[in-house]
Amino acid sequence: MKPINEFYVRKIMREKLNEIIFGTTTRAGRNFDLILLLLILISVLIVMFESVQVWRSEYPRFFYFAEWGFTIFFTIEYLVRIAVSPNPLKYIKSTWGIIDLLAILPTYLTPFISGYTSLRAIRALRLLRVFRILKLNRFTSEAQALFHSLRASYYKIMVFFFFVLMIMILTGTMMYVIEGGEHGFDSIPASIYWAIVTTTTVGYGDITPATELGKILSSVMMITGYVIIAVPTGLITVGMARYKDDGKKDNVCDNCGHDNPFGSIYCNQCGEEVLS
Amino acid sequence: MKPINEFYVRKIMREKLNEIIFGTTTRAGRNFDLILLLLILISVLIVMFESVQVWRSEYPRFFYFAEWGFTIFFTIEYLVRIAVSPNPLKYIKSTWGIIDLLAILPTYLTPFISGYTSLRAIRALRLLRVFRILKLNRFTSEAQALFHSLRASYYKIMVFFFFVLMIMILTGTMMYVIEGGEHGFDSIPASIYWAIVTTTTVGYGDITPATELGKILSSVMMITGYVIIAVPTGLITVGMARYKDDGKKDNVCDNCGHDNPFGSIYCNQCGEEVLS
Amino acid sequence: MKPINEFYVRKIMREKLNEIIFGTTTRAGRNFDLILLLLILISVLIVMFESVQVWRSEYPRFFYFAEWGFTIFFTIEYLVRIAVSPNPLKYIKSTWGIIDLLAILPTYLTPFISGYTSLRAIRALRLLRVFRILKLNRFTSEAQALFHSLRASYYKIMVFFFFVLMIMILTGTMMYVIEGGEHGFDSIPASIYWAIVTTTTVGYGDITPATELGKILSSVMMITGYVIIAVPTGLITVGMARYKDDGKKDNVCDNCGHDNPFGSIYCNQCGEEVLS
Amino acid sequence: MKPINEFYVRKIMREKLNEIIFGTTTRAGRNFDLILLLLILISVLIVMFESVQVWRSEYPRFFYFAEWGFTIFFTIEYLVRIAVSPNPLKYIKSTWGIIDLLAILPTYLTPFISGYTSLRAIRALRLLRVFRILKLNRFTSEAQALFHSLRASYYKIMVFFFFVLMIMILTGTMMYVIEGGEHGFDSIPASIYWAIVTTTTVGYGDITPATELGKILSSVMMITGYVIIAVPTGLITVGMARYKDDGKKDNVCDNCGHDNPFGSIYCNQCGEEVLS
């Protein structure tokens, strides 16, 4: 009976591990996710600090060992995920599977490339794994509410952006003509970059109008941008206010058709019981 | 019967072409508009890239042929539009007709002018033709909703701007006096330009106060501008919230046609019961 | 009967002139105000252009005569206002009377002062006379609606500003300590100026943190300011939405006490006529 | 009977003093708080001005005596607070007690440290004592309303910030890779600092993208940030609008105490008629 027993133990072990590693509903699953999250954040912080010249040259050994330590841990985690998954291929091909692989791959490739290259910085993209937190409970519901309320105004915001982009391109071109290709307005794309920096009120000041007419046009643009910036805010605010209203759909009164607010038990127009 | 037949065929062809070129409701009409849109965007992109010194000198032949190719295509399209239109003169004189002409004219004039002049950049204004997209269905309704909701707060925003402009001119003048015509505050118009850059929170930093008093006045101005910027946002948000309420057509009175607010049981204009 | 008649004619003339100059309800009164407005704007524009060094030295005669022309016209207008007013002293002491006097005084004082002094720029303050437009009809009602809606949130905005100012002073001081009085953070007032420039998202870039810790603190501050900037917007938006609601007070139904929306003739809850 | 009498007088005096110093409801208590507030503000202003090099070296004696004067006054106030408090230890250990101590401590430590050190600037933190104003009546209720309305959207804003921070870190890293560690993007932390400065639309301009790709990515980021900045505004506005709705107590059901939404005729929890 030993082989059967062994097989049985293995199956239970795999299921248990699967629950811990992939699950989010059990206590163990949640704890595993939180610890993993912490390790990812620490490893990303180390990548960040390694990018600072001074620290890189001062503690080369620390960064070397820390990086390999984390990579080996994440590799083991990745392999266990494959082993434990009921459908390993599906996991490997999934978005999360690819992100998990990308989080460890750069370190294995660095020995073949010299210097502190961009490849090394790319390791910071393992931060994407942090979004796994979205699977955790309370976080999800709040994030969903946020996204749903934005989805309502999605199309309107797109139309708005189409206009804003067209205006930015047109004003950018006009500024290029006005400033005569000088004072940083060297080309139309550069002028459009300036228009974006200005209309979004970022205003670096790396390119600023130097001619009288240029200053007048930018002034008009800024004051217009002043109102324009209010449009997405209005759209999103109304969308959010609406979302909560629309969320009530289950409270429409069967008797008088009144759309009662969320949580209603009796219709506030006719007093009928609302079946929710 | 041949001439009659030919005339008949021509009429049908013209009507068919008219439907494709000017129409937006048929499948062919929509596809033509989308392809045209794409060609306009590509031709504008080429104008943009041509304005970049490096690319202009590296691929002069590419830009030369691309530009003439697009211009000839748009010229043919312009002529077909005239031929096909039931009232050619009306089309030529219409805003769209003028924009269509302006989109091809600069290229024909360039041979007479040397260098990469502003005339060439002006070709980018053919981007205006893109707004023809507004005739497409879904886009229109969303854009209309957006504009209608803004129209409600139009007059209030104008009054608000009058105040803001007056305040900008007055603070600009005060800063000119305070900074004594130095540190970039060379004239009152320059100081007003600074006031606009500051109040709209763009803040280039090309002109900044240097005196103590100037810094105090700008601080007061920034904090005030902080609240001021909230006013158009409030106006537009409330305007949008209102507009959508009106869009809820379920409360239109059958008796007098009045659009009652959400939750009405009796029409507030004629007292009839509103069937919602 | 001559003296009596003359007295009578004078009285009528004075009343007529009073109506034209001070009134805003008659056609003549409105036209006078609009022409005056235009003249004020032109005279302010001339003061502005005179402040530009190049123009001042190129057209000295134009500016000289234009300025005296406007000043003499405004002086006559001022004297007529006094003559025509039923209570001259009251007008002279009123805010508008003082503004009207200040609009002409600087020009009379300039001969005694040499160079293009600040006194000359102060003439631009005659722009304040433009606010007389507030007496015009449509403008007033919109401006009143705007102000009333802001008044509701006035006290809350003040409380909010108290907090923001305290936070600005505290972060400014902290930055002064962190940056060690260098990199533009030369004193606590300078650091507070920086904090205001940063929190309001103006961001000139004339003072920027140079130390690591300074950059971290400013980052935290910017992200916080990101949310903080939303508070006055929220307050004002809600205030405006409320104002319109409160503006309806005249539409409360006598029968059921329901607060009907503006413009209601019949209560939308019980069908009773609303006495508005 | 003398000792008893003395004890009795002392007790009354202590209670009276306690009421004045700690209380906010009596006239004397409110006046004491307001005077204290003024003294704190003046002493903070003096610390600020002392930090200005010019003034420090010009009026060293004034700053020396003013500082010691205020410190001695605040020390006496601190000791009286301990003496008068019914539970001195509790007061000393409380947040206010610690802030009160920190407000006087730095001055006593300065003699042991030379120069105008950061320790001296820290005295400005006595500004924290100003928040004692929160205990005053009208101020409290407005501040509470403000905080309560923000609390509703607190968790959503946190979720939003998590996303924004992740996006800032990821774009910062990408910019570091794109700009190749040059043009101010020297390290990942520096690039993240740039991302925060840009997304919050502060835009100092101390670090700006120099490569084509960098400019394109920043443009995308700015336009995205344009919408992102609208999210907290929307959350807070909706939160505030909700909060006030709840403040409308006129729709509370007499039967079950449920707070019904505006316009309710029947309680939506128990079906009773709501008398409004």
Distances (CA, A) of A4 to A11, A87, D256: 10, 22, 63
C268 touches chain A (CB under 8 A): no
Q: What whole-number distance in Å separates Cα of residue D54 and Cα of residue A59?
A: 44
Segment 117-176 of chain C within 8 Å of chain A by CB: none
Task: Look at the domain B2-134 and name its fold.
Answer: Four Helix Bundle (Hemerythrin (Met), subunit A) (1.20.120)
* Comparison of pLDDT for C51 and C214, the residue scoring more: C214
Residues of A in contact with B149 (CB under 8 A): 234
- Residue B188: which of B205, B200, B175 has the closest Cα? B175
The reply to whether residue B187 touches residue C51, judged by beta carbons under 8 angstroms, is yes
C80 to chain B nearest CA, in Å?
A: 27
Confirm whether the ipTM is greater than 0.90. Answer: no
Segment 43-82 of chain A within 8 Å of chain D by CB: 44, 47-49, 51-53
The overall average pLDDT reported for chain C is 79
> Mean pLDDT of successive 10-residue segments in chain A (276 residues)?
70 80 77 86 88 86 90 92 87 87 85 68 79 64 72 77 87 88 85 92 90 92 83 83 51 58 57 54
Highest mean pLDDT among A228-242, B113-127, B236-250, C77-91: C77-91
Q: How far is CA D35 from the centre of its chain?
A: 21
pLDDT at C273: 62
How many other C-beta atoms are found inside a 10 Å radius of the C-beta of residue B125?
Answer: 19
B257 touches chain C (CB under 8 A): no
Angle at C85 between CA C79 and CA C87, to 5 degrees: 115
pLDDT at D251 over 60: no
Are the C-beta atoms of residues B152 and B246 closer than 8 Å to each other? no
Q: Assign C247 a pLDDT band (cuts: 50, 70, 90).
A: very low
Residues of A in contact with C52 (CB under 8 A): none
What's the distance, Cα to Cα, between the start and end of chain B in Å? 62
B233 to chain D nearest CA, in Å?
A: 10
Would you call B227 exposed, middle or buried from its count of C-beta atoms within 10 A (0-12, 13-18, 19+)?
middle
CATH, domain A142-251, list 1.10.1040.10, 3.40.50.970, 3.40.50.300, 1.10.287.70: 1.10.287.70
Q: Assign B275 a pLDDT band (cuts: 50, 70, 90).
A: very low
pLDDT at A117: 61
φ and ψ at residue D225, rounded to 5 degrees: -60, -30
Instruction: Tell me the domain boundaries of chain A.
Output: 2-134, 142-251
Are the C-beta atoms of residues B225 and B206 closer than 8 Å to each other? no
Digit-coded pLDDT (tens) for B80-124: 989 888 888 998 988 888 888 888 888 888 777 766 666 677 777
Question: Quick one: DSSP state of residue B205?
Answer: -
Q: What whole-number distance in Å separates Cα of residue C69 and Cα of residue C76?
A: 11
Nearest to D53 among C160, C187, C222 (CB): C187
Percentage of chain D with pLDDT > 90?
12
pTM: 0.81
* Comparison of pLDDT for A189 and D261, the residue scoring more: A189
The reply to whether residue B236 touches residue A241, judged by beta carbons under 8 angstroms, is no
For chain C, the farthest-separated pair of C-alpha atoms sits apart, in whole angstroms, at: 93
The reply to whether residue B187 touches residue C143, judged by beta carbons under 8 angstroms, is no
The reply to whether residue D241 touches residue A241, judged by beta carbons under 8 angstroms, is yes
Nearest to B205 among A205, A218, A257 (CB): A205
A181 touches chain C (CB under 8 A): no
B263 to chain C nearest CA, in Å?
A: 8
Q: Assign B137 a pLDDT band (cuts: 50, 70, 90).
A: low
Assigned token pair, B119? 């005339």
pLDDT at A187: 87
B235 touches chain A (CB under 8 A): yes
* Comparison of pLDDT for D276 and B55, the residue scoring more: B55
Residues of A in contact with D201 (CB under 8 A): 200-203
B205 touches chain D (CB under 8 A): yes
Q: Assign B79 a pLDDT band (cuts: 50, 70, 90).
A: very high
D181 touches chain A (CB under 8 A): yes
Q: Which residue of B has its CA nearest to D52?
A: B212
pLDDT at A270: 65
C to D CB pairs, distance under 8 Å: 129
Nearest to A237 among D187, D229, D233 (CB): D233
φ and ψ at residue C266, rounded to 5 degrees: -120, 145
Q: Which residue of B has its CA nearest to A222?
A: B200
pLDDT at A114: 65
The reply to whether residue D233 touches residue A236, judged by beta carbons under 8 angstroms, is yes
Q: Which residue of B has its CA nearest to C238?
A: B234
The reply to whether residue B196 touches residue A222, judged by beta carbons under 8 angstroms, is yes
Q: Assign C37 a pLDDT band (cuts: 50, 70, 90).
A: confident
A231 to chain B nearest CA, in Å?
A: 7
B73: which residues sit within 8 A by CB, 6+ positions away? B39
Q: Assign C262 a pLDDT band (cuts: 50, 70, 90).
A: very low
A266 touches chain D (CB under 8 A): yes
Nearest to B232 among A162, A166, A226 (CB): A226
pLDDT at D250 over 60: no
Percentage of chain B with pLDDT > 70?
79
C212 touches chain A (CB under 8 A): no
D78 to chain C nearest CA, in Å?
A: 22
How many other C-beta atoms are found inside a 10 Å radius of the C-beta of residue C97?
Answer: 18
E-strand ranges in D142-255 read: none
The overall average pLDDT reported for chain B is 79
pLDDT at A268: 60
The reply to whether residue D237 touches residue C242, judged by beta carbons under 8 angstroms, is no
DSSP-H helix ranges across D117-153: 118-122, 137-152
As a residue count, chain A comes to 276
Q: What whole-number distance in Å separates Cα of residue A83 and Cα of residue A105?
A: 19
Digit-coded pLDDT (tens) for B190-218: 999 999 999 888 889 889 999 989 999 99
A189 touches chain B (CB under 8 A): yes
Residues of B in contact with A235 (CB under 8 A): 240
C227 to chain B nearest CA, in Å?
A: 13
Nearest to D263 among B202, B204, B263 (CB): B263
Residues of A in contact with D159 (CB under 8 A): 139, 142-143, 146
B28 to chain A nearest CA, in Å?
A: 23
Lowest mean pLDDT among A203-212, C5-14, C113-122, D191-200: C113-122
A to C CB pairs, distance under 8 Å: 9
* Comparison of pLDDT for B229 and C203, the residue scoring more: C203
Q: What whole-number distance in Å separates Cα of residue D174 and Cα of residue C60?
A: 57
Q: Assign D216 a pLDDT band (cuts: 50, 70, 90).
A: very high
pLDDT at A267: 64
The reply to whether residue D240 touches residue C225, judged by beta carbons under 8 angstroms, is no
State mean pLDDT over C133-152.
68
B12 to chain D nearest CA, in Å?
A: 48
pLDDT at B32 over 80: yes
